[in-house]
Amino acid sequence: MTSSRNPVKGIWLMIAAVAAFAAQDGFSKHLASEYSTLMIIMIRYWAFAGFVILLALNRPEGPRAAIRSARLPAHLVRSVLLVAEICLIVWGYTLIGLIESHAVFAICPLLIVALSGPVLGERISWQRWAAVAAGLVGVLVILRPGVGVFSWAALLPFASALLFATYSVLTRLTTRDEPTFPAFFWPGVIGAVLMTAIGLPQLEPIAPRDSAYLAIYCGLSILSHWLLLKCYEQIEAARVQPYAYLQIVFVTIIGLTIYGEALELPVALGTLIIVAAGLYALSQERRPA
């Protein structure tokens, strides 16, 4: 998009989308703590694949034209990256909790900045590199290596952020000369096939109450992406991106009230550093050359 149709509506759609993503993360923590993480994510992918197939069938240009792409190998790589990212972050929820996982994952937009130079050939100003460095300092404040509280599990959300940043940069690369819908469609379908292959052996019975939770979880997965699509129809992504950081707020509320997690001072301080650095990098990106 080159201009905003309805900025206020777009902002509210983004807030609703990140609230849905946060609720989805809350359900994923419970379900993955009780059952196989791979099985839960597999079922989530089934629901999402059905969603993107339904979208393709309703595209005005027809489903074949909508999903046609000359970059299927790139979409395969993106699909593998996204599957690995989701598995790692959900695993992190079960080991270190929602709050700390999202605090570390907040570095992702800055990692996208760092990767845009070597992968996309974009010129990165020293101000944006400084923002990346500040974000890494924020991660170190959260992780506190060398003070006796660091665990290997704390690296899971960082690895997840790196994988998602790589996925996002490759998405930019594939959509330079193609419509965006194939880049949205193929990871959903290929990811469902991959997760079925690795998740089906982990299939196990689910309690009736958790079956309801799983249905809500899958519904939230579809709703969050639908809200995001509608958001970008109303406003440019760069203008609405600062509101995406509200997901950390929503996740923190869920972690504190539902799961009894604690918001430790270093985690709060590190998150503020990362978010401030991300917003500064975004402001530099939006400045005219």
What is the C-alpha to C-alpha distance for residues 178 and 190, in angstroms, rounded to an integer?
Answer: 18
Tell me, yes or no, whether 1 lies in a domain.
Answer: no
SS (H, E, C) the chain: CCCCCCHHHHHHHHHHHHHHHHHHHHHHHHHHHHCCHHHHHHHHHHHHHHHHHHHHHCCCCCHHHHHCCCCHHHHHHHHHHHHHHHHHHHHHHHHHCHHHHHHHHCCHHHHHHHHHHHHHCCCCCHHHHHHHHHHHHHHHHHHCCCCCCCCHHHHHHHHHHHHHHHHHHHHHHHCCCCCCHHHHHHHHHHHHHHHHHHHHHHCCCCCHHHHHHHHHHHHHHHHHHHHHHHHHHHCCHHHHHHHHHHHHHHHHHHHHHCCCCCCCHHHHHHHHHHHHHHHHHHHHHHCCC
Total domain count, the chain: 1
Tell me, yes or no, whether 91 lies in a domain.
Answer: yes
pLDDT tens per residue, range 253-263 = 999 999 999 88
Tell me, yes or no, whether 2 lies in a domain.
Answer: no
pLDDT tens per residue, range 75-127 = 999 999 999 999 999 999 999 999 999 999 999 888 888 888 777 777 778 88
Domain that holds residue 121: 7-286
pLDDT at 289: 45
Q: Which residues of the chain have pLDDT under 50?
A: 1-2, 148, 289
Q: Of all residues in the chain, what percent carry a pLDDT higher than 90? A: 56
pLDDT at 205: 94
Tell me, yes or no, whether 180 lies in a domain.
Answer: yes
